[in-house]
Structure 1
Amino acid sequence: MAKIFPLSEGVFTVGRDKQFIPFDLNNDELTDRSTGSLLVEVQPFLVVTDKDLIVLDAGLGFSGKDGIMQIHANIAQAGYSYEDVTKVLLSHLHKDHTGGVLQKDANGLVKPTFPNAEYYVYRPEADYALKTGYPSYHPEEIEALLSTAKIHWLDGQSGLIDDYITYTHSGGHCPEHIVYLIDDGSDKVFYGGDEAPQLKQMKMKYVAKYDFDGKKAMALREQYGEEGRREGWKFLFYHDVTTPVAVLS
């Protein structure tokens, strides 16, 4: 049975400038933020199977006052070590999903955040990200990641990783977005990245302005929901403030 641990970096608002600003649910008011700001969680996941420790997307890359990366501390709190992570699966390369893939050591050298993991990157998304750049992508960080020896390239419309993780090109939120389904034989864990980012979006039918192809993303959510209900998927919601994991009824 797969074990699932949300690795929250906190709640933020994000506006048209794509800046993520911390938000205190007890003291802040959404109406005080810029017009059109969205309230989101930034929440990678750790999925533990018999074969792997898998991190799904990597957050903004924040560190605490002690200098320890928050994603490392969260994994330790779950009872594991970041050094034991074997796979990092990236749905796309927007900065709020890749800020935590690299870190600087005490000497200022940039190195992978998870030294013993392979980073799975969809090759067309890497090409698109480097070509497109700011504000959604940070090319210098992506180039640094791609220059490491830890990259495992994914190609084609779909494929299988180690015989139990399926990736599929979806292309709704951004043109080269992909989604993952982890099937360890007892659980099916679905990670839709920013095409299934919140539970409420699986229940409401609407076109989101922040998606590259809003109508396609809406149709994909409906597709994911139908298949997930039928097969009992556990959905992981990267941007959901209250419900990180759910089985749809």
Structure 2
Amino acid sequence: MQAYSLFEGSFSVDASKKFIPFDPALHNATDRPGSMFIQVHPFLIESPNGPILCDTGLGLKDENGTLLLYQNLKKMGYEPKDVKYVLMSHLHKDHAGGMVNFEDGVGRIAFPEAEYIVQRGEWEDAYSGINPSYRTEIFDVVQRSGNLNLVEGAGSVNHEIAFKRSGGHTRNHQVFHIETGDNHYFFGGDVLPKPEEIIHNHIAKYDDNGRLSKQLRQEYWKQGAPENWIYLFYHAKSFAIGQPKLRSDGTYEMIEVK
């Protein structure tokens, strides 16, 4: 069983919260002052029970109107109907855009056979108007689909998938442990979005509770390194999938999983 990045692209984001494609070979960062530069990596995890998705990207489409997420799935040999679980860390638009496929203004659930796992508190916050990064037109479609499973706190979806409300990035952000085959995958969403943040741990202004996120990152590394977790980094620039390696001095470093 393996995990794959379904890379959706690199983007700059300014105060308008718009995600503008950014290709370093074509664009200059100095032309976009005040912008953050991020990458978007939804993940596919293979499982005997069927493919698992971790977050769904921005929902971007190609020139033919096909979701990039669909294209990337097909490269791995899967169709949208094959996906059995969609695990949502939170519902900001760069994570939730691909939950639904809009065609000619009509929204349909993007993965019709999948169970969508969302924290109840996050779902309620998404409709509260507290953050412009929530797109309620997406959630209206999901709610009507019958595919939504609102969970609370910590628990298990099945014998492979466990969830836990973490808070930090949003009030009801959640993280996932997926244990399938011989691998233990950890998806930390936007609490642990990049491998560099394990070392250069800081308080981020874009977090609801930056101090909590900082604390959680250290806890996830302290526990996961000796247990050989495989980490999935949603906004990674260097590498999206990493695993700890024991150094000769008894400490751990993060290395890329290819």
**TM-score per shorter chain, which class?**
over 0.9
Partner of 1:167: 163
Per-residue displacement from partner, 1:40-93 (whole Å, max 9, x unpaired)? 111100000112200110000011012211000000011221210011010000
Aligned pairs for 1:52-131 (under 5 A) are 52-105=50-103, 108-131=105-128
Between the aligned partners of 1:213 and 1:166, the Cα distance in structure 2 is 23
**SS, match of residue 125 in structure 2:** helix
Between the aligned partners of 2:113 and 2:33, the Cα distance in structure 1 is 41
**Quick one: structure 1 residues 221 and 240, their matched pair in 2 at CA, closer, same or farther if it must change by over 3 Å?**
same
What is the CA-CA distance between 1:173 and the residue it aligns to? 0.4
Per-residue displacement from partner, 1:10-45 (whole Å, max 9, x unpaired)? 00011232211110121222222131x221111100
Farther off after superposition, 230-239 or 133-142: 133-142
Count, aligned residues? 245
Unpaired runs of at least 5, structure 2: 245-252, 254-258
**SS, match of residue 30 in structure 2:** helix
Between the aligned partners of 1:226 and 1:19, the Cα distance in structure 2 is 35
What is the CA-CA distance between 1:152 and the residue it aligns to? 1.2
Checking the alignment, whether the CA contact within 8 Å between 1:17 and 1:135 is kept in structure 2 is: no
Checking the alignment, whether the CA contact within 8 Å between 2:109 and 2:141 is kept in structure 1 is: no
Aligned pairs for 1:1-249 (under 5 A) are 2-35=1-34, 37-105=35-103, 108-155=105-152, 157-248=153-244, 249=253
Give the AA of the match of 1:154.
V
Could you list the runs of 4 or more consecutive aligned residues of structure 1 that deviate by over 4 angstroms after TM superposition? none
Between the aligned partners of 1:3 and 1:145, the Cα distance in structure 2 is 28
Checking the alignment, whether the CA contact within 8 Å between 2:120 and 2:151 is kept in structure 1 is: yes
What fraction of aligned residue pairs are identical, expressed as a percent? 35
Unpaired runs of at least 5, structure 1: none
TM-score normalized by the length of structure 1: 0.94
Between the aligned partners of 2:136 and 2:33, the Cα distance in structure 1 is 26
Between the aligned partners of 1:204 and 1:152, the Cα distance in structure 2 is 35
Q: What is the RMSD of the two structures over their aligned residues, measured on CA atoms?
A: 1.3
Between the aligned partners of 1:7 and 1:200, the Cα distance in structure 2 is 20
